[in-house]
Structure 1
Amino acid sequence: MKKLAALLTLTAALAAPMAAQAHRAWMAPTATTLSGTDAWVGFDAGMSNQVFNPDHAAMRMTGLTITAPDGSAVQPEHAMQGQYRSTFDAHLTQNGTYKVANVMGGFMASYTLNGEQKRWRGAAADFPSAIPAGATDVRATKTASRIETFVTLNNPTDTVFAPTNEGLELVPVTHPNDLVAGEAASFKLLKDGQPAADLEVTVARGGLRYRDNPEESTVKTGADGVFSVTWPEAGMYWLNASVRADAQGDQPASNASYVAVVEVLP
């Protein structure tokens, strides 16, 4: 890896985060708080100009995981990919909070070989051996994209919020299934396990199709990675942040994005 690193001209420009593109990524549940001995929740996921309005492309769900309150994996059911959105269901059988996440990452690279420019994209573990001997002008970026939402059956719990320390992640201060219009909520963003300071977070409320006011705002994280939002109205909200870092020593450039979808109740 060190030998290869000597050849690299690392750049973040090759791999802008999915959520930072013109089309926004989102994954929205049909409900976030449920009760009873068990419950079903449906999910739509897509890429669109307006959040929660499927009008551009379905989201690929290759990185989908559903984590139960006890840490076990829940299998999505009735999964389907349509033209404009992907859909699936989750059967909740444990009391507590579930995390539903679509996580993608790897490396994107370009290089010149025998006078021709080549491109490669794949898993981080495959990157060193994927660049052939004799390649020059190697440019690469490590990417990480995380799209999440949370649903709770009966009483909320916090076991699913333990970070993986990979990419951008949200650690709630206020439980994401306990949000109320007119009240402030706080969350903490981490980048590779460390506080993501001075990071801009976009907050947008769904339903733009039926109103003129976009109801979109931005807030910034503090030195501890914490940011706060006071919800103006009830509804489904989209939170998005992204961060780029230049190469340092043997560490490649990185490009990470995060999206959370939360529901605010009246």
Structure 2
Amino acid sequence: MPIIEKDPMPFSHRFSTIAPVLGSLAAATLVASPALAHSPYLLPNGFVLDKEDHVTVEASFSEHVFVPTIAMQSDDFHLVGPDEKAVPLKPVALRDLVILEAPLPADGTYRLTSGERQGRVAKAALIDGTWEFVAPNRPLPAGVVPVEMQSVTKAEAYVTRGKPGDAALAPSGKGIEYRALTHPSLIRAGQPAEFELLFDGKPLANADVEVEEARAGQVENRRLPIITSDARGRFTISAPEPGLYFAMTRHRVGVIGAQPARSYTYALTYSVTN
């Protein structure tokens, strides 16, 4: 039996050290403050690994990112490996979070993902060019008709065993997602990390990206200034210091043909080093 080298640092200690160290009817974009909505996240217990044959992942929703509140349920938890093959992951559900064990059989970069998961359906209305969820008793402007809107979320993270690779970085072409132009395992503090924001495989311009740096033991994480994607859907994040970071974008689209209105959320967890 081969000997697997384990990280001697327990997860709780590892977190405490790296955390201080994250307008038409057809389509409209809206970003909500994480403090006002539960944010989805995946949190692996390591991002850059040596010889480990697996990584353990926490999946949850939270009002304070990386403090689990609601266990994330999905029928499509999987990883995409260096061979670009999707491997289903079996979740173990607890009350506040889900635990996944993802195999890392070979060197390279792996994409961990919840897949697209459908959440609640609620009333929404296009008000002054922005889609908003509306309470049943809320008065609406004249001519504004609410529709049923389906929430769709996807949370992802990347881990690398040994030498980084690019195969797992290829976008799925479905829903909202970030294409990493700077390798996620090579993001450095004080240096720009470039991404491309995509929706159904096409660049999504003028969309907001919210970024937080996790602060273990603090009442609030540190929020970076809002970033907006450019005309090519590209945006750059510059982390001020090493640590654990969380980036998220929400995008809402109205009824298109037979497709219902949808509220998409994409979230990426990544680590920044010196």
TM-score of the pair, normalised by structure 2:
0.72
Shift of 1:198: 0.4
Residues 105 and 142 of structure 1 are in contact (CA less than 8 Å); yes or no, is this contact kept in structure 2?
no
Question: What stretches of structure 2 of length at least 5 have no aligned partner?
Answer: 1-24, 124-144
Q: Secondary structure at the match of 2:87?
A: coil
**In 2, Cα distance between equivalents of 1:104 and 1:20:** 22
Shift of 1:95: 1.6
How many residues align? The count is 226
RMSD across aligned positions (CA): 3.1
Residues 119 and 153 of structure 2 are in contact (CA less than 8 Å); yes or no, is this contact kept in structure 1?
no
Residues 189 and 196 of structure 1 are in contact (CA less than 8 Å); yes or no, is this contact kept in structure 2?
yes
Q: Deviations over 1:142-165 (max 9, x none)?
A: 553211001111111111222222
2:79 paired residue number: 66
Q: Secondary structure at the match of 1:52?
A: coil
1:130 paired residue number: none
**In 2, Cα distance between equivalents of 1:249 and 1:219:** 31
**In 2, Cα distance between equivalents of 1:174 and 1:183:** 10
The change in CA–CA distance for 1:139 and 1:11 in structure 2 (over 3 A counts) is: farther
2:108 paired residue number: 96
2:265 paired residue number: 257
Please give the residue correspondences for 1:52-201 in structure 2 after superposition, counting only pairs within 5 Å. Answer: 52-54=66-68, 56-76=69-89, 79-105=91-117, 139-141=147-149, 143-201=151-209
Residues 47 and 158 of structure 2 are in contact (CA less than 8 Å); yes or no, is this contact kept in structure 1?
yes
Question: What stretches of structure 1 of length at least 5 have no aligned partner?
Answer: 1-9, 112-136
The change in CA–CA distance for 1:232 and 1:107 in structure 2 (over 3 A counts) is: closer
Shift of 1:24: 1.7
Shift of 1:25: 1.3
Shift of 1:73: 2.9
- Alignment counterpart, residue 39 of structure 1, candidates 53, 59, 65: 53
Residues 28 and 44 of structure 1 are in contact (CA less than 8 Å); yes or no, is this contact kept in structure 2?
yes
Shift of 1:11: 9.4
**In 2, Cα distance between equivalents of 1:211 and 1:181:** 23
Shift of 1:253: 3.0
2:233 paired residue number: 225
**In 1, Cα distance between equivalents of 2:186 and 2:172:** 23
TM-score of the pair, normalised by structure 1:
0.74
Residues 189 and 221 of structure 1 are in contact (CA less than 8 Å); yes or no, is this contact kept in structure 2?
yes
**In 1, Cα distance between equivalents of 2:217 and 2:35:** 21
Residues 140 and 252 of structure 1 are in contact (CA less than 8 Å); yes or no, is this contact kept in structure 2?
yes
